[in-house]
């Protein structure tokens, strides 16, 4: 269910970015969230970052789970995590994702 909600957020941000009238109200909350959390400030920024995150998650390789777990639990990064990151970069390069 969480995956579906993440995609719904992604679609809503894309619609706001593209200026669709029924998504126009999303712009101000996005700016406020950016101000409060020091995150990207525009819908474009959010969409771009979310695109990258979703792309990596869609790779569905063990390295993604390793890195996601490390980030979610804020555990110390070691050589195992660095290796996972390098595997993800290699998979993205192979898939043509920059």
Those residues with Cβ within 8 angstroms of residue 40's Cβ, 6 or more apart along the chain or in another chain: 34, 46, 48, 49
Question: Of 9-23, 27-41, 64-78, where does mean pLDDT reach its minimum?
Answer: 27-41
Q: 57-70 pLDDT, tens per residue?
A: 777 889 988 988 88
Domain ranges of the chain: 1-48, 60-98
The kind and range of the H/E element at 27 are helix 27-37
Question: What's the pTM value of the predicted model, to 2 decimals?
Answer: 0.53
Those residues with Cβ within 8 angstroms of residue 43's Cβ, 6 or more apart along the chain or in another chain: 13, 16, 17, 26, 27, 30
Instruction: Give the mean model confidence (pLDDT) for residues 9-15.
Output: 80
57 touches 7 (CB < 8 A)? no
Please tell me the total number of residues recorded for the chain in this structure: 98
């Amino acid at each position: 269910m969480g995956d579906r909600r993440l995609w719904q957020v992604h679609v809503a941000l894309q619609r706001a970015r593209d200026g669709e009238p029924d998504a126009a109200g999303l712009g101000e909350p996005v700016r406020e969230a950016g101000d409060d959390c020091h995150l990207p400030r525009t819908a474009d920024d959010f969409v771009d970052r979310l695109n990258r995150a979703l792309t990596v998650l869609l790779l569905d390789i063990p390295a993604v789970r390793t890195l996601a777990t490390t980030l979610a639990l804020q555990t110390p990064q070691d050589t195992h995590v660095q290796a996972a990151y390098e595997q993800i970069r290699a998979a993205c390069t192979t898939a043509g994702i920059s």
